[in-house]
Structure 1
Amino acid sequence: MLPSRFVSAVEGCDAAVMGRSHALSGAVVWLGGCALAAGLGARPAVGAVVVGAAVTAGGALLPDVDHPGSVVARSLGPLTRLIARGAAAGAAALRTASCGCCAGRGGHRAVTHTFVFAVTAGLLVSLLCWVGGDVAAAVVAGMAAALAVRGVLRRRTRGAYGAAGSGLLVGLMAAALPGPVAGWWWVGLPLGLGCLVHSLGDALTFSRVPLLWPIRIRGCRWAPLGMWAPLRFRTGSAAELLLVVPALMLLGVISAWTLITP
């Protein structure tokens, strides 16, 4: 059994390294969905494509709020690190209280990496944007875009000003573009989708995730689920850097090209 401090440090490094893949996968899933809709004759509005891609990319980093070493935990310095420590402590307490066999396993990759969390986060953001309208949608889109930029850039080039500028640009775009006829309540959909994409991405690694909590699987509410063992890869490995990331970028380009061309 490895010391908990060592495990925590490794998981924090994993969360930081995989931030690029998570953000890219979130944006690509949204762009792919929009491209599919366009192919079926329901071409989405520019605002829905841009804002949705930004929110999905940012939402795909949100589940790692349960670890102080993640991109989202470092996004606003001491404030978000404090939030991350609180989220990790709460997740660890919930895991211990809800399943006796999981005591002492910590809070990383726990409740924030579940289907329940993704749905709940999406519903809360939908409610916020339904009540707050254009202003709330602009704030959510701007914050998500800033978070996504911090996740995509390498640590050496990851600057607060660049992320803030990107977030401000997307937020202003969301405020300036004509809003959907039915309102901005749908913004919760890409955010929840991003959270789910994150968890599915982690399920491809050796760590896996308790995606179906609180359903008991083999007697455990936090049973880790994931890809077939021979196909799993390690975070930051050659499989991720040379296969997963390039594949995501290629799919994103294809989807964007489909949306741009008439």
Structure 2
Amino acid sequence: MAHWNPSGKLAVVTGASSGIGRCLSKQLVARRCCVIAVARRGDRLQELADQIGRDRADGMLLPIVGDVTDPQTRGQIESQVRSRGGRLDLLVNNAGIGGIGPFERATESRLRKIMEVNFFAPAELTRRLMPYLKSSGDAVICNLGSVLGHRAVPDKSEYCASKFAMHGWSDALRAELAGASVQVTLVSPSTTRSEFFDTLVESDAGATSKSIGSWPAERVAAATLTAIRKRRAEVVLSVGGKLLVYADRLCPPLMNWLLQKRSGQ
């Protein structure tokens, strides 16, 4: 099958105001793709739209300011897709949040907020947009997961759970849509150098995250676009990320021991 071509296509990208979503939106527009960019921070979205306008890149960027956990925002996205012809070629579920700290000391609100943003909202948005994706005849759903959706680590239990959910849902959805001309791609980065850690949910004071092979957001976005264009089912990014995933597959007891040592058990 030929590579997926962004030119002339319509895409929805969530979490588009910064990091991977911002970079991916710019890369898509540069390839003549019309992007509906969704994020909570309107000033950052407007900066992105202004920058794209100054650069005179081909394609368009249509900003929607809102929270994907809000059904009203999801309705706005659907209305914009419908107004553009009722056909959607690419959905990138990128918006996400995290939290750091032992589960025992965390709150119910942290668990629920992380699961809502990282899993429930993208799942419901995808369900809502499914008729338009099927109308494309050549659509891709790209879910941004994490290497921590393959192997959980201490002090990020809620985040790991949300990414395991994204991983399992992506696998099931891919099988369900096999005959519908809708490809489901799961991209699993390790640590991305972005503003992600500036917005941690109810995390311990001074909490930090140890890198297992960090990439800049631009590189993650480029690898994500390559995975989309090649219609890949799943990609794990960075050497460190691959080591974590494949070491766990080959020798789970060793990984259990290493992670227990890391957490001081």
Which structure has more strand as a fraction of its residues?
2
The interval holding the TM-score normalised by the smaller chain is under 0.3
Which structure has more helix as a fraction of its residues?
1
TM-score (norm 2): 0.26
Q: Which has the higher contact order (CA 8 A, sep 6+)?
A: 1
